[in-house]
Amino acid sequence: MNLKRILLLLLFFSMVSLQAQQDLTGTITDESGQPLPGVNVLVKGTATGAVADFDGNYAIKAPEGAILEFSYLGFVTKSVPVGTATTINVVLQEDVSQLDEVVVIGYGTSTKKDLVSSVASVKSDVLENQPVARVDQALQGRATGVEVTSNNGTPGTGATIRIRGNSSINGNNDPLYVIDGFIAGTGFNLNTINVNDIASIEILKDATALSIYGTRGASGVILITTKNGKGMAPGKPVIAVNHYYSLQETANRINILDGQDFIDYKNESYQFVPGPDGFGFTDTSLPLVFDPENTTTTDWLDVVEQPGAISNTDVSITGNSENANYFISGNYFNQKGLLRGSGLERVNFRTNLDIRVSDRFKTGIRANMTHYKIENNKVNYGNIVSSVLPIRPVYLEDGSFSFENPISAGLERNPEADIQHRVDHDLVTQLITNAYVDYKITKNLSFKSTFGAQLNYVKQNNYLPGILPERVTGGYGRINTNFTKSILNENTLNYDLDLDDHSLKVLGGFTWQKDNNESTFAEADNFPNDVVSFNNLALGDSETATVGSGYGQRTLTSFLGRINYGYKSKYLLTLVGRYDGSSVFETGNKYAFFPSIGAAWNVDEEAFMVDSDVINRFKIRGSYGIVGEQGVAAYNSIATYANTATVFNGSLVNGVLVGQVPSSGLTWETTKQLDLGLELGFLNNRISFEADYYKKTTEDLLLAVALSGQVGANSTTQLQNLGSVQNKGFELGLNTINVQNDNFTWESNLSISSNNSEILELDDQEFISLQSTGNQGGNSARLIVGEALPTFVGARYLGTYKTAEEIISDGREGRSFIGGPRYEDVNGDTNINDEDFQVLGSPIPDFYGGFRNTFTYKNLSLDVFFHGSYGAEIWNVRTQTAYYGRGEQNVDPIVLQRWIAGVNETSDIPRAGPSNSLFNVNSDLNIEDGSYLRLKTMTLNYDIPMEAKGLGNVFSAMNVYVTGTNLLLFSDFTLGDPEVNNFTAGSGLGSVSQGFASGQYPYAKTITVGVKVEF
Amino acid sequence: MKTKLTSKFLILLLSFLVLSSCDKFLEEDLRDEITPDAFFTNDKEAELAVNGVYRLYHNNNLYGQRGLDNYYTSGADIQAASRNVNNAIHNYLIQEGTADGNGTWIQLYRVINNTTEFISNIEGNENLSEDAINQRLGELLFLRALAYYHLTNLWGDVPFYTEQLPVPERSVLGRSPKAEIRSAMKADLARAFDLLPASYSGSNLGRASKWAAATLKAKYHLFDEEWALAKAECDIVIDQSPHRLLDNYADVFDQSDPSNQYNDEHIFVIDFEADLVGELSTTRTDDYNPRIRDEPAGRNNDTIVDGVSGSKVSIFQGLLRDRNEDMTGFGWSVPLPEFALRENWQEGDLRYDATIVSEYLGWKLSFPYFRKNWNLDQENSLRSNHPENYIVFRLADVYLMAAEAENELNGPGSAYAYVNRVRERAFEPDQPWAGMSQDQFREAMFDERRFELSAEGHRRMDLIRWGILLERVQSVQHRAWNNPGTNIQPYHVLLPIPQNQLELNPNLLESDPSNNGYR
């Protein structure tokens, strides 16, 4: 479309010139510079034509101002106006829709047709112009087998991505990010990539695709490829300016209890006594703790929330000349968060450059520089929801900030004061660059060497000023800095051989990578005033000042190889292997080999099907292989002494203690994966379908095995290779063009994925505890052999006790009360504890997916995208603490439905009563259905016809768009948004502990208006 | 052709270069941590190691919060919570998995592992001066003996090691007889006594002195009813140490000035300090401090004071704040009704007012509190950030131990002198003991230790060693929400080996499948 406009623009300018026949010649090549023989050249509107010769050269006569049309099967037809030049060289672009999509894979590319492995590909059109700072948030529901769960709505906060489930427990479950060939690690900071710079994202899922990444591939790999000028019309560059503005408000706001309801509940709870018969009694003779006639209510959510906004501007220049193509862009992104005081401001510059030095020698660079500032949340949203009391005023009568909990009189932070005065932000600067040289040694053999670096500097500034009401000893300042450096050198040889029926591609390479980080922190307390803040920590009290620093390093060397063999494009075979050596393992265990094999059969190429009008694509593929995971911390096999401190006579002195228990003989986790795939295309791909089944078994799981207490270690666990876990699942993708005519097109795109995980073995342990939710309740998520990863456990809630007889029959006289909770006593010992815990559910959905519909009418298009998840369960941490929570915290509005003597005696919501460990046991009372369907985005786009508006001489293209995000949500979940988790990024048990909702930073409902202009 | 050859050569060269350095390239480069093989090379390093062990005792499972207090102070006849909290302890619902002391167990073995590792590295180390070796060994031996003291008090037989054993061996040790452990520790303490200095000053106050070692040894002997040995250790402390009884009972506990918390009566304390990260400040004081939610009595009733009308709580809190005070505690440790009543104390006992507070600034309180352990100061002693030291041993306890041992050994004759030294300052006018039988003296001591040492972490072990825990818990009056008398069993004198530990090391059930009577 855009190209056409450029041409029209050129045409417009050329109108003034005289019309006279000229001799025109030129060469026609494809994007890689190969000459294209047999291209048809036509002078538009006439019968004059020519055909390019074997070297792609053509000759034709045409008047100045005429238009030459170049057409060739499998390539996009191109029109070029005739100017004064007599030589017109043309680069034709492959027609992806007609031929085959090119898919980026590790260390290369492949056509979709030749691909043996399972790779999901997401193109820029679905990523662009979503009002998000990070691309992970835009990926949700777009690719099969990729489960994207937003963590919370904080600006700059990532989503958690799980590719085909969790395959590790203590190790890493985050995918590996590879940015334009640079292996950027699993913890890559996606805030540093401008979403609109991305050309495509490929997600590698099966063993054949992953084993080329060896020890880092087991959790999947995400390849991000940024734009370049390749395929552009040569000559005039395209300057594009894109701007959007978004307005945001809190979606699915959480309800909190108001002051009156809170006081009524608390007064009732304080009047609870066992009573004369011991079965529970509300003793109204006891004094009321709160005056029920005199309550104030503060809606703390109102205090801390604000409408959010995002402003985003991109400017890019894309160009292509004979020997070079380039993409240069700048981006400014500014988000005001939904919580006052939170936000993100970013500038980003990218330079992508490819140069053809000679026919044999190519070089180029990808460089991206980002600097951003995150204003962190000054208040904890979960605290506002569950902790800060509604009966507490924002300001005292004298106008100063309130500073204490009205129940405990303990000093407590004031959210309003925090928002106004607290300093807490991160400054992040990142440079990521990858340069290459590519030398064609012979016709079939080429050598490529890349050298890349990622430099990351983070500074975190914190200051709690003395003006904050709880800071009785003056201000407190802290700064942290962290500098990380990653250097990667990769050297590969490529051998390509195409004989008549046989094609062979061989890749071999050697790489090394070194990552290190250096950190420092300093803090000081008791600042006499708030003038200098964190900028001069020396003004704090020197006795309270502390400093620290750290260093970490890990290195990796690898040999890699891949052989692709094809016979007549019908039968495809791929062999892949990577031999990795890693510093984090002990000598003797440093190296491991990860091989895989894949094969595919393009049935549609067989004689019996090649002429079919109905089926145009029919491919069966399968792969099997081993991939590794090295998600262990560096230095885990080294015994250390850890530093600590103690006090003598009020002075702090340093000390040391025996540190970690070193691991012994640790090795990689290995994942064996089988993948079977089917790809079908009907009616010239108007209907295309892709399905995958996979089974992954991960062995030698890294487990933090608990050590008995008598070992006396500072860490209570030691890493060992034990246990195994299995993930099985299917993925379905269906694309249909439902209507296609001159004016109107309707396309649908459905993706559905399902993953079932099961723990096969955990050493000798029955289960591993993951997470505790209550202050007294024990662990509520476990890893249990034979169950999903992870699994909720707790007591089975049976409702409230309605009669004394029920209590007596349960043997719980004096310990349970009428109107109080009743749990199933599995072992009949009358105690309700861990031993009565049962499996109650899992936060893993049965299936999830996305459904996209695109409607195009002339220049108008509408894109509607739904995302949903079915069958996950959520642990509502807030209701768990609501019933018998700490007396100093707020409770959930569900208590309004509580059992009340003589008023609501049929209720199964427990009565107001004392905090009690018996009451606070983990139970399914707190488990809710987390299924949801969300209208994730809806975009209306209008391509303004420039010529028709008479603007063709100024702009080559212009479109305006309106996008709504998170517009509708269908869900039964009671605590705000059901898309919750509390994954902790990286490794450790946190990476599988998920599905706990405690009221996180809310998600936004967003309306975005944007305009994109090309010159 | 030339370029072709050159590039091929370059590839080869590059590969060889990288390959040859591969093993070196993959070596771990640890720069920011100390490893054991490069430590204990000078006196300062030995000191650092010992300092680390003191840190362990600050942990909330030991002296920091209510870790040890749960088993030494609560569950007896003096105190409980002001409401239905911590009820596994206050109601004797202790069982495997419930209040079984798992955290305390783990923390005590941390002390044992660290002291054992450090002792073996310091003993005979030629890089260290003789003075340093003596000083540090003395401290480590004391600190380890203190850990085994608690372990054997709480669980009886426990896993025992004093040598560095490899992790796989250490983790499967079964229980060793209590007597064996305690006799080894008594020997260690005798050695520590010889090695340790007699006093400290300045920034070393808080380290274990030889008197601390002697007092701990006296306790070991007393608990084992080795009366003569107990008495001998007490006499050493009383006669030779610079420690003395303060003239005024209340002064012993006065820690209101955070920079001056030590006094001559303290033999060994765990030193806490406010505003320090981690566990170096204490929350124990919060258990003794009231919650404003409970106070004062009739708090929501309106009243008029000096022409200002309002609810009692708002006026009372205003008065507190004028004094830079507030009631911001937890109220988890308040005196039981009997103990709080003045008439249950001997007439003229000055310790009552220093111990119990039931009225403050002229306002009646809903609950009585321990004045000796509370601190309402909102400048130096904030909620969850208190600087008060935990007084582990003090001289009055040593006098009372000496009196008890002497009475058991020879009858009351020479024992009066010891107990009356303590009673001298407790009464005005003096009410010395005299004319008692040995039994009368013994029983009087049951009460004397209660009034002198309440809420200091002695009571429950005293009742256990006297064999009267059950009887006292069942006979004392508890508040409405607690009824431990019906739940307490004879086996409750020990804790069960924690469930968590049994799961990790089944050998702990070998010597006693009943797990101290809990199965």
pLDDT in tens, B321-365: 999 999 999 999 999 999 999 999 999 999 999 999 999 999 999
User: What's the confidence (pLDDT) of residue A809?
Assistant: 94
User: What's the confidence (pLDDT) of residue B251?
Assistant: 97
Shortest alpha-carbon distance between residue A431 and chain B (Å): 25
- Please state, in angstroms and rounded to a whole number, the distance separating the CA atoms of residues B404 and B416: 9
More confident residue, A946 or B126: B126
Residue B110 has pLDDT above 90, yes or no: yes
Confidence grade of residue A440 (pLDDT, cut at 50, 70, 90):
very high
For an interface test with A, which of B20, B28, B108, B207 has the most A Cβ atoms less than 10 Å from its Cβ? B28
User: Looking at chain A, how many residues does it have?
Assistant: 1015
- According to DSSP, the β-strands at A90-91 and A21-29 are parallel
Quick check: A884 and A919 in contact, CB under 8 A?
yes
Quick check: B494 and B101 in contact, CB under 8 A?
no
A chain contacts of residue B483, beta-carbon cutoff 8 Å: 814
User: What's the confidence (pLDDT) of residue A14?
Assistant: 42
Judge: B273–A650 Cβ closer than 8 Å, yes or no: yes
- Please state, in angstroms and rounded to a whole number, the distance separating the CA atoms of residues A457 and A435: 21
User: What's the confidence (pLDDT) of residue B371?
Assistant: 97
Confidence grade of residue A187 (pLDDT, cut at 50, 70, 90):
confident
User: What's the confidence (pLDDT) of residue B14?
Assistant: 59
For an interface test with B, which of A489, A649, A719 has the most B Cβ atoms less than 10 Å from its Cβ? A649
Handedness of CA B245, B247, B248, B253 (dihedral sign): negative
CA distances A111 to A104, A115, A445, A496, B114, Å, are 9, 6, 20, 15, 61
Judge: A638–B35 Cβ closer than 8 Å, yes or no: yes
User: What's the confidence (pLDDT) of residue A839?
Assistant: 93
The position carrying tokens 């007084």 is B391
Please give the average per-residue pLDDT across A329-342, as a whole number.
95
User: What's the confidence (pLDDT) of residue A171?
Assistant: 78
Instruction: Considering only the beta carbons, identify the residue of B22, B205, B378 that sits closest to A557.
Output: B22
> Among A39-53, B38-52, B395-409, where is mean pLDDT lowest?
A39-53
- The full DSSP string for A927-964 is EEE--EEEEEEEEEEEE--TTTTT-TTT-SEEEEEEEE
User: What's the confidence (pLDDT) of residue A717?
Assistant: 81
Side-chain half-sphere CA neighbours of A991 within 13 A: 24
C-beta atoms surrounding B321 within 10 Å: 12
Quick check: A305 and A250 in contact, CB under 8 A?
yes
Single-letter residue type at A974 = T
Judge: A649–B205 Cβ closer than 8 Å, yes or no: yes
Does the predicted interface ipTM exceed a cut of 0.95? no
Quick check: A312 and A243 in contact, CB under 8 A?
yes
Residue A935 has pLDDT above 60, yes or no: yes
Could you tell me which chain B residue has the CA closest to the CA of A405?
B328
Judge: B32–A552 Cβ closer than 8 Å, yes or no: yes
Q: Could you say which residues from 279 to 308 on chain B have a Cβ atom under 8 Å away from some Cβ of chain A? A: 280, 291-293, 298-301
pLDDT tens digit string along A689-727?
999 999 999 999 888 778 899 999 888 788 888 889 999
Which pair of tokens denotes residue B180? 């064996």
User: What's the confidence (pLDDT) of residue B13?
Assistant: 55
Please give the average per-residue pLDDT across A343-360, as a whole number.
95
Sheet holding A78-81, edge to edge: A49-51, A40-43, A67-71, A78-81
Strand partners of residue A572: A566, A600
Quickly list H helices, A155-255.
207-210
Confidence grade of residue A861 (pLDDT, cut at 50, 70, 90):
very high
Residue B17 has pLDDT above 60, yes or no: no
User: What's the confidence (pLDDT) of residue B120?
Assistant: 96
Single-letter residue type at A184 = A
Q: What angle do CA A576, A579, A582 make, to 5 degrees?
A: 140
Backbone angles phi, psi at B409, to 5 degrees: -75, -50
Quick check: B479 and B80 in contact, CB under 8 A?
yes
- Please state, in angstroms and rounded to a whole number, the distance separating the CA atoms of residues A945 and A956: 9
Backbone angles phi, psi at A816, to 5 degrees: -125, 160
Quick check: A80 and A88 in contact, CB under 8 A?
yes
- Please state, in angstroms and rounded to a whole number, the distance separating the CA atoms of residues B138 and B123: 11
User: What's the confidence (pLDDT) of residue A88?
Assistant: 85
Shortest alpha-carbon distance between residue A620 and chain B (Å): 39
Confidence grade of residue A13 (pLDDT, cut at 50, 70, 90):
very low
Strand partners of residue A83: none
Q: Could you say which residues from 229 to 258 on chain B have a Cβ atom under 8 Å away from some Cβ of chain A? A: 258
- Please state, in angstroms and rounded to a whole number, the distance separating the CA atoms of residues B183 and B187: 6
For an interface test with A, which of B13, B279, B293 has the most A Cβ atoms less than 10 Å from its Cβ? B293
The position carrying tokens 């099907």 is A609
Judge: B85–A549 Cβ closer than 8 Å, yes or no: no
Could you tell me which chain B residue has the CA closest to the CA of A913?
B84
Coil, helix or strand at residue A320:
strand
Judge: A409–B51 Cβ closer than 8 Å, yes or no: no
Confidence grade of residue B71 (pLDDT, cut at 50, 70, 90):
very high
> Among A594-598, A983-987, B208-212, B235-239, where is mean pLDDT lowest?
A983-987
Confidence grade of residue B210 (pLDDT, cut at 50, 70, 90):
very high
Quick check: A326 and A351 in contact, CB under 8 A?
yes
Judge: B280–A652 Cβ closer than 8 Å, yes or no: yes
Please give the average per-residue pLDDT across A662-668, as a whole number.
89
Judge: B51–A916 Cβ closer than 8 Å, yes or no: no
A chain contacts of residue B317, beta-carbon cutoff 8 Å: 409
Please give the average per-residue pLDDT across A147-169, as a whole number.
85
- Asked if the bond preceding B296 is cis, omega within 30° of 0, the reply is yes
pLDDT, averaged across chain A: 87
Backbone angles phi, psi at A521, to 5 degrees: -145, 155
Give the rounded percent of residues in chain B with a pLDDT score beyond 90.
82
Instruction: Considering only the beta carbons, identify the residue of A447, A555, A659 that sits closest to B33.
Output: A659
Judge: A655–B505 Cβ closer than 8 Å, yes or no: no
Which pair of tokens denotes residue A442? 């012979």
pLDDT tens digit string along A461-473?
999 999 998 887 8
Nearest to B49 by CA among A711, A548, A710, A643: A643
User: What's the confidence (pLDDT) of residue A98?
Assistant: 44
pLDDT tens digit string along A989-1001?
666 778 888 888 8
> Among B88-102, B174-188, B421-435, where is mean pLDDT lowest?
B88-102
Please give the average per-residue pLDDT across A69-97, as a whole number.
77
Single-letter residue type at A401 = F
Phi/psi class of residue B183: alpha, beta or left (left: φ > 0; alpha: ψ in -120 to 50)? alpha
Please give the average per-residue pLDDT across A876-902, as a whole number.
81
For an interface test with A, which of B266, B390, B504, B507 has the most A Cβ atoms less than 10 Å from its Cβ? B504
Instruction: Considering only the beta carbons, identify the residue of A552, A709, A831 that sits closest to B105.
Output: A709
Residue A922 has pLDDT above 60, yes or no: yes
Judge: A643–B34 Cβ closer than 8 Å, yes or no: yes
Give the rounded percent of residues in chain A with a pLDDT score beyond 70.
94
A chain contacts of residue B207, beta-carbon cutoff 8 Å: 648
Q: Would you state the torsion angle of the CA atoms of residues A893, A894, A897, A899, taken in this order, to the nearest 10 degrees?
A: -110
Nearest to A458 by CA among A348, A372, A350: A372
Confidence grade of residue A542 (pLDDT, cut at 50, 70, 90):
confident
B168 touches chain A (CB under 8 A): no
Could you tell me which chain B residue has the CA closest to the CA of A589?
B26
- Please state, in angstroms and rounded to a whole number, the distance separating the CA atoms of residues A461 and A648: 31
- Please state, in angstroms and rounded to a whole number, the distance separating the CA atoms of residues B458 and A601: 81
pLDDT tens digit string along A752-798?
999 999 999 887 777 877 765 544 445 678 889 999 988 999 889 99
User: What's the confidence (pLDDT) of residue A990?
Assistant: 64
- Please state, in angstroms and rounded to a whole number, the distance separating the CA atoms of residues B28 and A515: 12
- According to DSSP, the β-strands at A717-721 and A724-740 are unpaired
Could you tell me which chain B residue has the CA closest to the CA of A637?
B28
Q: Could you say which residues from 423 to 462 on chain B have a Cβ atom under 8 Å away from some Cβ of chain A? A: none
Could you tell me which chain B residue has the CA closest to the CA of A554?
B28
- Going by the DSSP 8-state scheme, the letter that residue B239 receives in this structure is H
User: What's the confidence (pLDDT) of residue A147?
Assistant: 87
Judge: A831–B98 Cβ closer than 8 Å, yes or no: yes
Nearest to A897 by CA among A881, A912, A878: A912
Please give the average per-residue pLDDT across B94-121, as a whole number.
94
Helix (H) or strand (E) holding B455: none
Q: What angle do CA A374, A431, A175 make, to 5 degrees?
A: 75
CA distances A467 to A439, A531, A715, A844, Å, are 64, 11, 39, 46
pLDDT tens digit string along B428-487?
899 999 999 999 999 999 999 999 999 999 999 999 999 999 999 999 999 887 889 888
